[in-house]
């Protein structure tokens, strides 16, 4: 993967030199290993800051909004994995930005690593992370491990069927092979197989450590409302503390606001400081969107999302 960073930098330098875009949004190294963070580059001297590796798990579409453009004609370039590009498409479909304001530098993605899983292999702090092809070399003061990347992939990357950006202006490398899965939602099916009480208990336990920091919401490109329902005080839709009923309400509604829009990018899970897999909620919605409406978000600029249009074929046997 590190092979395409030179290409990304070259494309970026060229775009800035020609004045085609005013900013390039990409990833740069964080202050500690495995914490790649978003960066906005506007000068060719800063191009070296751009990196791309298996720790770029956030979604850069989140950093693009109507407000990030300086004027009408302005254009921003975004370094986009499959899911980032799909969320950019979703932004466009939802009229947040227009296609001609964004220049998509597409990156074929081989998946991002589960940082918690890697951290759990060490007793102390990780001091170094390097990768060569699909081998990861991770070091701490106590030990050095060589791990196969495929063994530590995030769950959403394991089940990803769109690693290549569906829409792009330029690609930084050749597209990677895309998988098709016999059982794309095995995780959801496992929960569905439990009885209602067990499912309730499962989701209560899942969210019991939630500290309501809203990092999951903030990391999600779909959550761009100027005032989120959780922050409103008149009316106050949901209590703000850690009461389990309020926590459950928050998670149910946050997820439902993503219905038919979620790309399963995993940024929400990546951001959660408590290690809560909040995708468990959106996965069910994604499964329904696919099974009831044949819909996967962010693949097509022309099609309207299922909850946005009426069709005579819409399933309606739940209405009595």
Partner 1 sequence: MMGNLLEHMGVDRDRIHFSWISSAEATKFVDVVKEISDKVRALGPNKKFVKDYNK
CB of 129 to partner 1, least distance (A): 36
* Separation CA 188–CA 285 (nearest Å): 10
Of positions 246, 277, 290, 300, contacts partner 1 by CB under 8 A: 246
CA atoms within a 13 Å half-sphere pointing along the CA-CB vector of 45: 0
Report in angstroms how near the CB of residue 197 gets to ligand SF4 at its nearest.
23
Residue 199 in the binding site for partner 1 (CB under 8 A) = yes
Verify binding: residue 236, partner 1, rule CB under 8 A: no
Question: Comparing C-alpha atoms, which of 177, 257, 183 is closest to residue 216?
Answer: 257
Q: Contact, 33 vs 129, CB < 8 A? A: yes
Tell me the C-alpha distance between 54 and 183, whole Å: 25
Q: Which residues form the interface with ligand SF4 (CB under 6 A)?
A: 59, 210-216, 219-220, 222, 258, 262-268, 271-274, 276, 278-279, 282
Q: In this structure, are residues 191 and 199 in contact, taking their beta carbons and an 8 Å threshold?
A: yes
Residues of span 116-145 touching partner 1 by CB under 8 A: none
Rank residues 97 and 136 by Cβ distance to ligand SF4 and give the closer one: 97
**Residue 258: which residues within 8 A CB-CB, separation 6 or more?**
220, 222, 282, 285
Q: What's the closest the beta carbon of residue 22 comes to ligand SF4, in angstroms?
A: 26
Q: What is the total count of residues that contact partner 1 (CB under 8 A)?
A: 32
Q: Which of 53/248 has CB closer to partner 1?
A: 248
Q: Using CB distances below 5 to 8 A depending on partner kind, what does residue 265 bind out of partner 1, ligand SF4, none?
A: ligand SF4
Interaction of residue 188 with partner 1, rule CB under 8 A: yes
Which residues make Cβ contacts (< 8 Å) with residue 145, sequence separation at least 6?
121, 122, 137, 138, 139
Contact status: 193 vs partner 1 (CB under 8 A): no
Q: If DSSP codes are grouped into helix, strand and coil, which group holds residue 201?
A: helix
Residue range at the interface with partner 1 (CB under 8 A); choices 86-94, 107-115, 195-203, 268-276: 195-203
Q: Which is nearer to partner 1, 100 or 197 (CB)?
A: 197
- Note whether 249 binds partner 1 by CB under 8 A: yes
Return the residues of window 286-305 that contact partner 1 according to CB under 8 A.
Answer: 288-289, 292
Length of the chain as a residue count: 320
Q: Which is nearer to partner 1, 17 or 319 (CB)?
A: 319
Instruction: Write the CB contacts of 124 (distance below 8 Å, at least 6 apart in sequence).
Output: 140, 141, 142
Q: Interface with partner 1 by CB under 8 A: which range of 15-23, 58-66, 88-96, 186-194?
A: 186-194
Interface with partner 1, residue 148, by CB under 8 A: no
Q: Is 318 in the site for partner 1 (CB under 8 A)?
A: yes
Give the other-Cβ count within 10 Å of 294's Cβ: 9
3-state secondary structure of 38: strand
Burial of 302 (0-12, 13-18, 19+ CB in 10 A): exposed
Report the DSSP pairing between strands 76-80 and 102-106. Answer: parallel
User: What token pair was written down for 52?
Assistant: 């791309």
201: contact with partner 1 by CB under 8 A: yes
Tell whether residue 243 is a contact of partner 1 (CB under 8 A): yes
Query: What is d(CA 36, CA 4) in angstroms, rounded to the nearest whole number?
Result: 16
Chain residues that interact with partner 1, rule: CB under 8 A:
188, 191-192, 196-203, 239, 243, 245-246, 248-249, 252, 255-256, 259-260, 281, 284-285, 288-289, 292, 307, 318-320
């Amino acid at each position: 993967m590190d092979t395409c960073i030179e290409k990304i930098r070259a494309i970026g330098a060229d775009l800035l030199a020609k004045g085609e875009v005013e900013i390039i949004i990409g990833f740069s190294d964080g202050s500690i290993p495995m914490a790649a963070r978003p960066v906005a580059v506007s000068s060719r001297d800063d191009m070296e800051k751009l990196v791309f590796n298996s720790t770029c798990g956030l979604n850069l579409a989140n950093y693009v909004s109507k407000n990030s453009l300086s004027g009408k004609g302005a254009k921003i370039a975004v370094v986009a994995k499959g899911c980032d590009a799909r969320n950019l498409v979703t932004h466009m479909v939802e009229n947040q930005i227009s296609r001609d304001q964004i220049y998509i530098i597409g990156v074929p993605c081989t998946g991002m690593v589960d940082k918690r899983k890697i951290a759990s292999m060490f007793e102390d702090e990780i001091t170094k992370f390097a990768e060569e092809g699909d081998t990861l070399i991770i070091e701490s003061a106590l030990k050095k491990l060589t791990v196969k990347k495929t063994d530590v992939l995030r769950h959403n990357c394991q089940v990803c069927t769109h690693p290549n950006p569906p829409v792009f202006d330029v690609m930084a490398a050749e597209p990677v092979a895309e998988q098709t899965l016999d059982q794309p939602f095995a995780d959801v099916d496992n929960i569905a197989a439990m009885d209602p009480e067990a499912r309730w208990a499962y989701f209560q336990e899942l969210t019991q450590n939630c500290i309501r920091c809203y990092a999951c919401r903030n990391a999600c490109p779909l959550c761009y409302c100027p005032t989120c329902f959780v922050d409103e005080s008149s009316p106050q839709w949901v209590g703000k503390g850690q009461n389990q009923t309020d926590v459950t309400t928050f998670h149910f509604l946050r997820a439902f606001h993503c219905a038919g829009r979620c790309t399963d990018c995993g940024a929400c899970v990546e951001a959660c400081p408590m290690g809560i897999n909040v995708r468990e909620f959106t996965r069910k919605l994604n499964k329904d969107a696919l099974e009831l409406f044949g819909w996967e978000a962010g693949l097509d600029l022309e099609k309207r999302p299922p909850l946005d249009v009426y069709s005579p074929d819409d399933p309606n046997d739940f209405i009595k």
